[in-house]
Structure 1
Amino acid sequence: MRVFGVVGWKNAGKTGLMERLVTEICGRGVTVSTIKHAHHNFDVDQPGKDSYRHRVAGAREVLLASGNRWALMHELAGEDEPPLADLLAKLAPVDLVLIEGYKRDDHPKVEAFRTETGQPLIALNDPTIRAIASNTDVDVSQPVFNLDDTAAIADFILAEVGL
């Protein structure tokens, strides 16, 4: 599977860009899956639901299935967070996996950058960042796209991964 990431500081526009890229790239007939890294404790389950009760009772994995979708929740129970490569191996084959976050991993990335965050460009010190998607002009050696030019960013990503 080919992978490409979207990184940036909080409120830089990563999630919006990811959403638009998935829509754009899927619309071109390319199959896409995503991985989103969360830096905080999160829960996809709701208190009171059966699957939540199974997990809280001590189940290491809970698979929830219906006629529309299935989801597998795995409790780490004190183990270290698995590396990105291990998580990628759990996905069904697709043409492209878009990864939001994991800015310290070595896959190619585009950086979402907004001056309003007050943060510096990550790309200045990260050779894995191949392009910048920004709401302002930036002086870098990588290609710079308007943060809202989803089609151009998608073109760049697909060319980079050979699709």
Structure 2
Amino acid sequence: MTFQSNTLTPVLGFAGFSGSGKTTLLESVIPHLKAAGLRVGLLKHSHHDIEPDKPTKDSYRLRYAGSDQLLLATSKRHMLFFEYHDSEDREPGLRECLAQLDHSRLDIVLVEGFRDEILTKIEVHRPSYGKPALYLHDQNIIAVACDVIPEGFGASPHPRLDINAPKDVADFIKHWLKTASDNEKYLAYEPEL
């Protein structure tokens, strides 16, 4: 795949430790981005096995009959299931997942998780949780959304975003979309082999 920034969608990660409030923040930010007319995609990484289907449904039965991929289509939505029969511990890569999205229908992809991947990120941090701050060691973090200013944060070049002010976080994202360089916004979406 040849890298062409005009054919890719900007990608912005939300990184933080479990329980820091990433999902809650995104749930509050997305409506503000939608109100601004943006088409928002979301890629969420989970360490848990998920089962979005019921054993009594045809799609469940067909998946467990041995399908490697199943596309369930309805008038309101469709879901694409990939089954990894060959490995219990297979973790899909960020770029592999991004390649599965229809980028022609998106203005931005927000990524929750993939904390250690190289992509531009907003850190979601709660000092009271006692977890280390990621911005101290991750050069891809461009802002920190937190409820309390972390100790020693004053020397940080990162903007502080109020985790309880989702409109302000959305405004930061809209500004980033307009001003960030292509290198900050775009990733090549080739599946990792």
Same fold (TM over 0.5): yes
What is the Cα deviation at residue 158 of structure 1? 2.1
Is 1:143 equivalent to 2:151 in the alignment?
A: no
State the secondary structure of the residue aligned to 1:51.
Answer: helix
Q: CA RMSD for the aligned pairs?
A: 1.4
For 1:29, the equivalent position in structure 2 comes to: 37
Contact 1:9 1:117 (8 Å CA) reproduced: no
Q: Secondary structure in 2 aligned to 1:153?
A: helix
Structure 1: gaps (5+ residues) = none
Deviation at 1:81, TM superposition (A): 2.7
Please report how far the alpha carbon of residue 115 of structure 1 lies from its aligned counterpart in structure 2 after TM superposition: 2.5
CA drift of 1:162 comes to 2.3
- Give the deviation of 1:154 after TM superposition: 1.4
Q: Does 1:88 align with 2:98?
A: yes
| TM-score of the aligned structures, taking structure 2 as reference length | 0.79
Q: Aligned residue for 2:174?
A: 158
SS at match of 2:37: coil
Which of 46, 51, 58 does residue 50 from structure 1 map onto?
58
Question: 1:7 is matched by which residue type in structure 2?
Answer: A
* Number of equivalenced pairs: 163
* Amino acid in the other structure paired with 2:38: V
Residues 88-137 of structure 1: per-residue CA shift (max 9 Å, x gap):
12111210000001111111111111123221111111111110110101
Structure 1 position 50, deviation (Å): 1.2
Provide the rounded CA distance (Å) in 2 between the counterparts of 1:51 and 1:116.
43
Counting aligned pairs with the same residue, the percent is 34
- The superposition leaves residues 28-86 of structure 1 with CA deviations (integer Å, 9 ceiling, x where unpaired) of 00111100000121222122211111111111112111111111101022353332112
- Segments of structure 2 that go 5 or more residues without pairing to the other structure are 1-8, 180-193
CA contact (8 A) 1:3 1:161 kept: no
Are 1:131 and 1:144, in contact at CA under 8 Å, matched by a contact in 2?
yes
Q: Which has the higher strand share?
A: 1
Deviation (angstroms), 1:20: 1.3
Aligned residue for 1:133, secondary structure, equals strand
Partner of 1:11: 19
* TM-score, normalising length: structure 1: 0.93
Whether 2:146 is the aligned partner of 1:134: answer yes
Give the structure 1 partner of residue 186 of structure 2: none
Kindly provide the amino acid, as one letter, of the partner of residue 137 in structure 1.
Answer: I
Q: Which residue of 2 aligns with 1:74?
A: 82
The residue identity in structure 2 corresponding to 1:2 is: P
